[in-house]
Amino acid sequence: MNTHQKFKTYVPGQHVVRGIPFKAHKIDGFTPEMLEQHFEQVYGGAVRRLNEIEKQIARDDRNDALLAEHLTVANLVILHELHFLSLGEEGGEELSDSALTQAIEAVFGSVAAWRVEFSSMATLGEGGWAILAWSDRFGRLMNVRTIDSAQFLSDAVPLLVLDMGEHAFSGDFGLDRMGYVSAFLQSVHWVRVAERFHRSLGGAVVNEKADPNQISISELKDSLDRGDDVLVLDVRHDDDCERYRNRIPGSEWHDSFDVAAWANDLPKDKPVVVYCMYGFWVSQKAAEELRMYGINARSLSGGVTAWRAMGYSSSSDIE
């Protein structure tokens, strides 16, 4: 353990969603509408409920049922984040990490055999989770099937997580669970899975530094709630605006393809926040261009999708 690790003071009910880690329209076999609904309503709802429970516990208003729900909802938050992290754009990529491949082969014989067992296990029942996990106690990888979100192998580290709740697949696959599992396994982001595997073995953990050119959704909300003089710009592409017509309150749309046409019209004496759908290159590139014009611009981490997932207010002023 790093004895120089700095720990943040715990404040109940301060959890914020982690941004969706992919562009939803690039996940093969899934519609962006279903992925975004899953992210915003189910995962976002779990984060919001966890905040409520923690605040209730902090008031010493606790009972056995609430403490049991706390465990369930905390697991829901973590497992949903790992579910989304397990998906990769445009078919993911082949498993190329030799250590993880050897660990799979040591237990299942081959990656193909693991895939067959995992698929069969995932479709055994309704709901719950299918998980590839590392058990330090047993010193091996294990396929774990849970029905209750509070149920899990005690020392296991989840590496690859598949949500088997109907909300995760019925919009695109109906009742075809096997079709859903197959589409998921064809889009696994094996690099992220391998990184979690190495961390579970005690590999070095790289602490991610905050990007000074980005702002979190909680920071932006706090700023707006305080009435800070900040300019918020919607730079989503037309098709994204058409699918989701609500905007962050007070924001105006600008064309991200032609930043030069409007950059000089923006004030240079106030902070500017630009957002897109997920907080990836559209808003990041627009903010970068604006900084070249001397404007104090940052992009919104997680985009408007993360904003909605937290239940923050929006306005429907798109005509």
pLDDT recorded at residue 30: 96
Distance CA 82, CA 21 (A): 10
The pLDDT confidence band at residue 60, using thresholds 50, 70 and 90, is confident
pLDDT recorded at residue 242: 85
Question: What are the DSSP calls for 275-295, one per residue?
Answer: E-SSSSHHHHHHHHHHHHTT-
When pLDDT is averaged across residues 131-137 and rounded to a whole number, the result is 94
The pLDDT confidence band at residue 319, using thresholds 50, 70 and 90, is very low
Question: Sign of the C-alpha dihedral, residues 40, 27, 256, 216?
Answer: positive
Element (H, E) at 158: strand 156-163
pLDDT recorded at residue 205: 43
The pLDDT confidence band at residue 202, using thresholds 50, 70 and 90, is confident
pLDDT recorded at residue 210: 76
Distance CA 57, CA 12 (A): 9
Biggest CA-to-CA distance, the chain:
63
Give the pLDDT confidence of 5-26 residue by residue, as tens digits.
Answer: 678 888 999 999 999 999 999 9
pTM score: 0.87
Give the pLDDT confidence of 61-88 residue by residue, as tens digits.
Answer: 888 899 999 999 999 999 999 999 999 9
Instruction: Tell me the pLDDT of the chain averaged across its residues.
Output: 91
- Say whether pLDDT at 207 is over 60: no
Give the pLDDT confidence of 236-259 residue by residue, as tens digits.
Answer: 999 888 888 889 999 999 999 999
The pLDDT confidence band at residue 2, using thresholds 50, 70 and 90, is low
Distance CA 178, CA 76 (A): 23
The pLDDT confidence band at residue 105, using thresholds 50, 70 and 90, is very high
Cβ atoms < 10 Å from Cβ of 276: 26
3-state secondary structure at position 234: strand
Question: Which domains are seen in the chain, by residue range?
Answer: 24-200 (3.55.40.20), 214-309 (3.40.250.10)
The pLDDT confidence band at residue 3, using thresholds 50, 70 and 90, is low
pLDDT recorded at residue 156: 87
pLDDT recorded at residue 203: 54
Share of the chain above pLDDT 70, in %: 94
Query: What are the residues whose beta carbons fall under 8 Å from the beta carbon of 131, sequence distance 6 or more?
Result: 79, 143, 144, 145, 146, 152, 156, 158, 159, 160, 161, 162
pLDDT recorded at residue 272: 97
Give the pLDDT confidence of 270-317 residue by residue, as tens digits.
Answer: 999 999 999 999 999 999 999 999 999 999 999 999 999 999 988 765
Q: Which amino acid is at 247?
A: R
pLDDT recorded at residue 204: 45
